[in-house]
Amino acid sequence: MSAKETSPNRKLLLVIGAFLAAYLVPWGSARVSGALGEAFLMLGEYARDHVLLCLVPAMFIAGAITVFLDQRSVMRYLGPGANRLAAYGVASVSGAILAVCSCTVLPIFKGIYKKGAGLGPAVAFLYSGPAINVLAIVLSAKVFGWRLGLARAVGAVAFSVVIGLAMAFIYRKDDAARAADARLFAAPEEEPARGLGKMSFYMLSMVGILVFVNWADSGGGSAAWDAVYSAKYWIAAAFGLALLYSLAKWFTRGDLVEWTAATRDFSLQILPLLFGGVLVAGFLLGRPGHDALIPGAWIAGLLGGNSLAANFLAALSGAAMYFATLTEIPIIQGLLGAGMGRGPALALLLAGPSLSLPSMLVISAELGWKKTATYVALVVALSTLAGVAFGAVA
């Protein structure tokens, strides 16, 4: 069946789904109407707190990767045939630099994957970007104790590599075919318009803006960290001036138009899926500390002890929820106070920051539902096993 034949069918299914929701859902009940309000309140918070300072800089970085980054370099260092130690080593610690949430990392992941990065290194980066946040790990150790903080750090780095290698192995034929196509349609060898030094300066200036404009307050956990926090806008402004210098010095008007168009295209592909996913997550689970369709007390009541079911539920619910950077810590602190076991707490810490319903929608648009389901299953399964093991010795 051709794409022209399937498109109307998909539209019809959407219309039928909307009709069934309008007809069957008891919108007048207090629980449902409250959940609907939570959905839009969560979307409002997401738009205010994350779009301008997180997603917009990430979109411009993704656009720059697509337009200006040399495809042969990506294939050499991150492609399916690249040195595994170097590729997975870089991907697995990227989160220590970026400190982004599960949604902010998506456009950057999409950019490097489109440029020819292998599925394994790209997925390792996708997991590690939000999972290996230095401040989050430090605060985890401070709030929950050094054992849980260390387990989170070790688990996040190890999982990024294991999940990346597993995805690369499972879909090795697809990756090989994709790499062959990339080499077949690659542009002929030519001298790059900008050398490595200029491109590094340009890219690092944008990464600096993204990192420092989103620098979080440690709440007294680290004096040095809070000193940077107090000056974060000045530091971000310095990186902004560096970006303006590079654009004026090394880029033509045509380059800027192409970069802007690529950023626009990424935004149109990603933002509708993210906003839709945030609405669904808010409707089902609500904002932290607020009940929606699924009462928080149900989740807290099921996470006590260290059973396989409790750890699995913690990992699964963490994968579905949306955590802004560092918000997982007070949420889990509250759940621990309500009787949550320490094993399920680790399972949620390992699965939650790296996944969410909104991110799953965007990942599926890039990788397809089969690869996305495999990725989610790996994250949930490994997080569950880590929680069971940690709960047994903690």
Please, is 45 exposed, middle or buried when counting C-beta atoms within 10 Å of its C-beta (0-12, 13-18, 19+)?
A: middle
253 exposure class (CB count in 10 Å sphere: 0-12, 13-18, 19+) = exposed
Amino acid (1-letter code) at residue 8? P
Amino acid at 185: F
* Full-model pTM: 0.72
- Residues in the chain where the model's pLDDT stays below 50: 1-5, 184-185
Position 185 scores a pLDDT of 47
Position 192 scores a pLDDT of 62
Print burial letters for 59-74: b (CB count within 10 Å at least 16), e (below 16): bbbbbbbbbbbbbbeb
Task: Please spell the DSSP secondary structure of 183-252, one letter per residue.
Answer: HHSPPPP---SS-HHHHHHHHHHHHHHHHHHTPPP-SSS-HHHHHHHHTHHHHHHHHHHHHHHHHHHH--
Q: What integer pLDDT is reported at residue 5 of this predicted model? A: 45
Q: Is the dihedral of CA 273, 276, 282, 284 positive or negative?
A: negative
Angle value at C-alpha 295, between 294 and 301, nearest 5 degrees: 115
Q: What angle do CA 46, 204, 265 make, to 5 degrees?
A: 50
The pLDDT tens digits of the residues spanning 142-172 come to 778 888 888 998 998 899 999 999 999 999 8
**Phi, psi (deg, nearest 5) at residue 35:** -65, -35
pLDDT, residue 347, reads 94
To which residue do tokens 């489109």 refer?
114
Q: What is the pLDDT of residues 207-247, one digit of tens each?
A: 889 888 888 777 776 788 888 889 999 999 999 999 999 99
The pLDDT assigned to 383 comes to 95
pLDDT at 1: 42
Rounded CA-CA distance 252/69 in Å is 16
